[in-house]
Amino acid sequence: MAARQRFSHLFRNMGFILALAFILGLALPQGAPQTGPAVIPLLALIMTLSITGVSPKLFLDFKKVSRPILVSLLLNYAVLTFTLIGLASLLIRDYELWVGFVILAAVPPAVSVIPFTYRLEGDVDFSLIGTVASYLAALFITPLISIAFVGTNLIQPGRLLMTLGELIAIPFGVAYLLRRTGVASKLEKYRGTIINWGFFVVVYTIVGLNQGAFLAQPLRLLPVAVIAFVSTFVLGYLIDRLARFLNRDKPNRVSLIFLGTRKNYGMAAAIALALFSSRGALPAAVATVLAVVHFIWLTFWVKRMV
């Protein structure tokens, strides 16, 4: 009985589930093309379940939303953007990879910031406000960054609006209906399991689709991996230390780490593939994998945060 309980607990542990998805993506990537079409619907489902406890009235309180908006824009579009571009300027000599990093630096935060914050018991309200504000600001900021560093407007505002609608606006509306009808309370005991295994499919797909890039020429990708490592592990650690120094509580620090270390890797990869080449998508692909590894690590590290 004890062994069965430990086994059951293991398969409810998000760190283990994501590690398993990562290993299977590298070892058995053949199923990734089949699970690919499910990624966007799953992300929308994960987002919906992650914000069922958030009220739309949250956005009507200016005092409550002003700080998350300013801090999120500072972290994602000042600190993270210029960390990526600065390190790429120092370490990358391949033009296509350089463009890939500019695209990555220009896109808004990953929509997974919100469900990741929820799973690690962070400040979901803070992450939600910051993410929505960053996407709206991205309609202006993202083209400016691409023009400044590459000389062309690579990112179309329509793509940003579509992402905002599919992965934030629609889930927010559905979550509101679930809460008003009482369905959300009935789903509560299944919510964590659905989110965990939804992320399993998403992570497996991302790793599986990029397996060849990671295993074929690992040494050539070393500078890319170094930048991805610094912009997740190192930057996340520094953000946490600074936030702790400023007496921010643990949930808020979790939110700050995600907002300051995550970009919309899927959007960046899609833009690079459409406008340049597969090499241009490599920074986003490598950063995706490092972000997954970072999250797996955070599932254990956050428990020891003071």
The CATH number covering residue 145 comes to: 1.20.1530.20
Domain assignment present for 184: yes
Q: How many domains does the structure of the chain reveal?
A: 1
Domain assignment present for 151: yes
Domain assignment present for 155: yes
| DSSP per-residue letters across the chain | -HHHHHHHHHTT-HHHHHHHHHHHHHH-GGGHHHHGGGHHHHHHHHHHHHTTT--GGGGG-HHHHHHHHHHHHHIIIIIIHHHHHHHHHHH---HHHHHHHHHHHHS---TTHHHHHHHTT--HHHHHHHHHHHHHHHHHHHHHHHHHHTSS--S-HHHHHHHHIIIIIHHHHHHHHHHHHTHHHHHHHHHHHHHHHHHHHHHHHHHHHTHHHHHH-TTTTHHHHHHHHIIIIIHHHHHHHHHHHTT--HHHHHHHHHHTT---HHHHHHHHHHHS-HHHHHHHHHHHHHHHHHHHHHHHHGGG--
Range of the domain at 264: 38-304
Tens-level pLDDT at each residue, the chain (306 residues)? 555 666 666 677 777 887 888 889 889 999 988 988 888 788 888 878 877 877 777 777 777 789 999 999 999 999 999 999 999 999 998 888 898 899 899 988 987 898 889 889 999 999 989 988 888 888 788 888 888 888 766 666 676 677 767 777 788 889 889 988 988 888 888 888 888 888 888 888 878 877 877 777 677 788 999 999 999 999 999 999 999 999 999 999 999 999 999 998 877 877 776 666 667 778 888 898 889 889 989 988 888 886
Domain assignment present for 94: yes
Domain assignment present for 131: yes
